[in-house]
Amino acid sequence: MQEKTKRDMILDAMQELMNESSGNAISVSDIARKAGIGKGSIYYYFPSKNDIMEAVIERSYSMAIEKSKELATTANISAFKKMEIIFRACIEASSELKRQEECSSFMELQQSALTHQKFISFLIKNLKPILSDIILQGMEEGSLTCEYPQEIAEIVLIILTVKLDNHLSPASAEEIQNLLRAFSWMQAKSMEIAPENLEFLRI
């Protein structure tokens, strides 16, 4: 059996169990039984149950991330169009999280602060290098100025992921819209960006 296949079996088993009961009630033995493999095999791939849970979450959002990575490396797309792609990827990932929350069996797990923190951390980690490269592209195109591309990329993603996730700092739809407008204005001023290029932030 190939390693990738066995790892996916573990994740599939965990996903099924999470759909049936609270994540806290699931044991490694339960996962092994559901996957039809030995308990020792699980520890070969994952140090703990929490690592399996994190991998399940990561796999759920990887499609949106991979799509954004592919589009963001396309040569004939402008920097601001690529920024919009990143923004849409954040929205799509956040929507996926909310869809899972609608399942009552998923509710307890997905509403925990720890799970949402992992979700945000995953998005920032994977999108930061992409957005940093996009900012550099914008500088080369002459459409923006920025002295700290990597740091600005991280700040932008922290704001977007936290507000779009809307769990760590809950706000109404109107409050989120107003914050994104203010954020757009701040970026336009500090990075010398034409306001119309950030119109996509006005959701």
CATH of the domain at 41: 1.10.10.60
Same domain for 62 and 149?
yes
Same domain for 59 and 18?
no
Supply the pLDDT for residue 104: 40
Task: Give 110 or 84, the one with higher predicted confidence.
Answer: 84
Same domain for 25 and 63?
no
Same domain for 13 and 98?
no
Q: How many CB atoms lie within 10 A of CB 155?
A: 13
Query: If you average pLDDT over every residue of the chain, what do you get?
Result: 84
Same domain for 104 and 72?
yes
Same domain for 25 and 64?
no
Same domain for 113 and 174?
yes
- How many domains in the chain? 2
Task: State which residues form the domain around 114.
Answer: 54-201
How does pLDDT run across 9-38, given as a tens digit for each residue? 999 998 888 777 766 678 899 999 999 999
Same domain for 25 and 74?
no
Helices (H), ranges, the chain = 3-20, 28-35, 39-45, 49-72, 79-101, 104-110, 113-141, 149-165, 173-190
